[in-house]
């Protein structure tokens, strides 16, 4: 399926309203994205997608250098937030298409809370749902969101992370440890 968005389409902005939640993922309000990421961050709902191809390689993306938080860092295939009034299924499908131009079924793995600061620029404080998908569709990256992308074998990724050969987002490092330890059989890690 082709991407109908121009490669520089604006699909995210600091004024969009995100869903504030408590530690049990109960909605407690909304707040604009900028304010959610100021200071130490305010807990909000988010998601991370891990998309593998049929060879078992993980699609990584290098976040656009224009991003306020962790621009130019390598991360999982796609990560974002559902908007106010949007359920997780709609949000994950929308964002996967907007950032990478692909569609695929997604399977929920787990949910976790984390907080990570990026110097004086702000912080992530998210209750993040992690999903797994498989697709061999051609990637059509939105250059406002994705600076670069590549597929990597899990064993090569393990080596890169162990040797710290590149900058990886903190949530991706946490998620990868959990995904590889809990879902080794699915990933073919034995």
pLDDT, position 54: 93
**In the numeric block, which tokens belong to residue 139?**
């990637």
Q: Tell me the per-residue pLDDT of 145-176, one tens digit each, with 9 for 90 and over.
A: 999 999 999 989 989 998 877 799 999 999 99
**Stretch 46-58: mean pLDDT:** 95
pLDDT, position 7: 57
Q: State how far the Cα of 112 lies from the Cα of 121, in Å rounded to an integer.
A: 23
Contact (Cβ atoms closer than 8 angstroms) between residue 138 and residue 101: yes
**Stretch 112-120: mean pLDDT:** 94
pLDDT above 70: residue 41: yes
pLDDT, position 2: 40
Catalytic: which of 126, 145, 147, 175? 126
Does residue 104 have an active-site annotation?
no
Catalytic: which of 79, 99, 124, 147? 79
**Stretch 37-62: mean pLDDT:** 96
pLDDT, position 1: 35
Does residue 126 have an active-site annotation?
yes
Q: Which domains does the chain have, with CATH numbers?
A: 17-184 (3.90.79.10)
The secondary structure of the chain, three-state, reads: CCCCCCCCCCCCCCCCEEEEECCCCCEEEEEEHHHHCCCCCCCEEEEEEEEECCCCCEEEEEECCCCCCCCCCEECCEEECCECCCCHHHHHHHHHHHHHCCCCCEEEEEEEEEEEECHHHCEEEEEEEEEEEECCCCCCCCCCCEEEEEEECHHHHHHHHHHCCCCECHHHHHHHHHHHHHCHHHHCCC
Q: State how far the Cα of 136 lies from the Cα of 164, in Å rounded to an integer.
A: 28
């Amino acid at each position: 399926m082709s991407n109908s968005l121009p490669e520089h389409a604006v699909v995210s902005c600091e004024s969009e309203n995100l869903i504030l939640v408590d530690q049990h993922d109960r909605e407690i309000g909304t707040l604009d994205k900028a304010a959610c990421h100021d200071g130490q961050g305010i807990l909000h709902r988010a998601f991370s997608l891990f998309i593998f191809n049929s060879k078992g390689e993980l699609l990584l993306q290098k976040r656009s250098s224009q991003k306020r938080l962790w621009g130019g860092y390598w991360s999982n295939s796609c990560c974002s937030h559902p908007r106010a009034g949007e359920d997780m299924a709609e949000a994950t499908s929308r964002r996967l298409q907007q950032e990478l131009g692909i569609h695929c079924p997604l399977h929920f793995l787990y949910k976790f809370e984390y907080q990570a600061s990026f110097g004086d620029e702000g912080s992530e404080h998210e209750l993040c749902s992690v999903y797994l998908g498989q697709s061999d569709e051609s990637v059509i990256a939105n250059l406002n969101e994705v600076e670069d992308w590549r597929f990597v074998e899990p064993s090569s990724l393990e080596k890169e992370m162990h040797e710290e050969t590149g900058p990886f987002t903190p949530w991706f490092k946490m998620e990868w440890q959990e995904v590889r330890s809990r879902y080794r059989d699915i990933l073919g890690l034995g």
